[in-house]
Structure 1
Amino acid sequence: MKVLLLKDPKEDDCGQDPYVRELGLYGLEATLIPVLSFEFLSLPSLSEKLSHPEGYGGLIFTSPRAVEAVERCLQKDTKAEVWKKSLKEKWNAKSVYVVGNATASLVNRIGLHTEGETCGNAEKLAEYICSRIPLESVTVYQTIPHPGIQGNLTSYYTQQDRLPNVLLA
């Protein structure tokens, strides 16, 4: 029997989409059709902000796409060399938060140490961040549109009357 999967193909350790592999084990023939397209719109702005960790109290990665955006920024020009020599170390001296385990593993791959991966959603991550940081003033810089996460963090921190100076990717 044939199965139509409406999703982007993802490769696992075996170089095959896990859904295609699993369905194949049951004798099903899966065909993948991507249904969404995605385009990064703010890479120059993100790249500029990544070059100045001194202006931020930390990073918040909201998704694997956010990590991909940072990776693309690091591949441009001489950014990879500067990242390895100094920027990575400067960002690691700050808090780097992630929403889930999948995002954490990708952030670790670019050399950053993470916190909050067990939170699982924006609301719990916001609570976690508030419990860990003595927060003074509110400044959230969002370079990649992600209204659900930014809205949740902003409203949570506003209710708490405190926000860190973070780069929300």
Structure 2
Amino acid sequence: MEAAERHVMILKAPAEDPEDDGRDPYSHLLRENGFAVTSVPVIDFEFCNLEELRDCLQAPHKFSGIIFTSPRAVRATALGLGTDQRLPARWSQHAFFVVGRSTAAALRSSLGAEGEGAESGSAVALADYITQRSYAGPLLYPCSSLQRGTLPARLQERGVRAHCVTAYATVPHPGLERSLALALASSRPPGFLVYFSPSGVAASLPVLRGLQLPFHRLKVIAIGAATQAALERSDVPVWAVCKEPTPEQLLSRLSSPGPS
């Protein structure tokens, strides 16, 4: 590959995988395999409704488990527990469901619990995993203000109830425009642009277009079908899609000879 083809710009939330000591596992793996990586945090998070979440966490008898679809949901739960940050003992009798290894790692590190379904890769696939068995009570679901209702609707279709608590809001990262301008000015143009979420697309795309980034020259990779759809709605051609949010799958897409 030429130099630009080895340069990857990653647009995502700041890294928060507790098992990687603050390092972004995506950037780490790509650099190990000879790629130059520029990582720009494009979104951030504000926590909310923690008192409501705390009330739910103090009533495990009302629920049959908890669903975590991101490390932020785990963090919100830890904050909701207050200074003790320990789940009431009865939660150990319930199931904990997670999307992705980073969420599983956050759950293990922050709350000392093991999650199921980490390899499901998406909220829809996790819903299918969850509904393989029945539950006496609803599942607590600390979620984003941007959650589209797909997972609760999928569960409801199959007779499983979810109690949703909006625990965090997604906002553009502070100084996003300056960060992107500096990243594009200080390094050679990227060959790949990697988007991780629809909210990341919404926050950064207008800025990048204002900076006249030549999208037609880039290979744009979407992490997940929802991110792919957000890009296509914005008329950005998607070169490849990672169906699962893992560093290994991103490396595989970057190393493939053609789109997938």
Q: Do these two structures clear the TM 0.5 threshold for a shared fold by scoring above it?
A: yes
Gaps of 5+ in 2: 168-260
Corresponding pairs, count: 156
1:163 to partner: Cα distance: 1.3
In structure 2, the CA distance between the partners of 1:94 and 1:141, relative to structure 1 (3 Å rule), is: closer
Q: Name the residue aligned to 1:106.
A: 106
Q: Name the residue aligned to 2:93.
A: 93
**Pair 1:10 & 2:8 matched:** no
Match of 1:155 among 153, 156, 167: 153
Cα pair 1:46 1:70 within 8 Å, conserved: yes
Identify, as 1 or 2, the structure richer in strand. 2
Matches within 5 A, 1:1-169: 6-10=11-15, 13=20, 16-17=23-24, 19=27, 23=31, 33-74=40-81, 76-77=82-83, 79-80=84-85, 83=86, 87=88, 89-109=89-109, 110-133=111-134, 135=135, 139=138, 142-144=141-143, 145-148=145-148, 151-160=149-158, 162-164=159-161
RMSD between superposed Cα atoms in Å: 3.4
Cα pair 1:136 1:164 within 8 Å, conserved: no
Quote the Cα distance in structure 2 between the aligned partners of 1:25 and 1:93. Answer: 42
Cα pair 1:64 1:106 within 8 Å, conserved: yes
1:21 to partner: Cα distance: 9.0
Q: Could you tell me the TM-score, scaled by structure 2's length?
A: 0.48
Q: Could you tell me the TM-score, scaled by structure 1's length?
A: 0.69
Q: Please, which moves more after superposition, 41-50 or 3-12?
A: 3-12
1:35 to partner: Cα distance: 2.4
Cα pair 2:99 2:119 within 8 Å, conserved: yes
In structure 2, the CA distance between the partners of 1:6 and 1:122, relative to structure 1 (3 Å rule), is: closer
Identity of aligned residues (%): 31
Gaps of 5+ in 1: none
Quote the Cα distance in structure 1 between the aligned partners of 2:117 and 2:40. Answer: 33
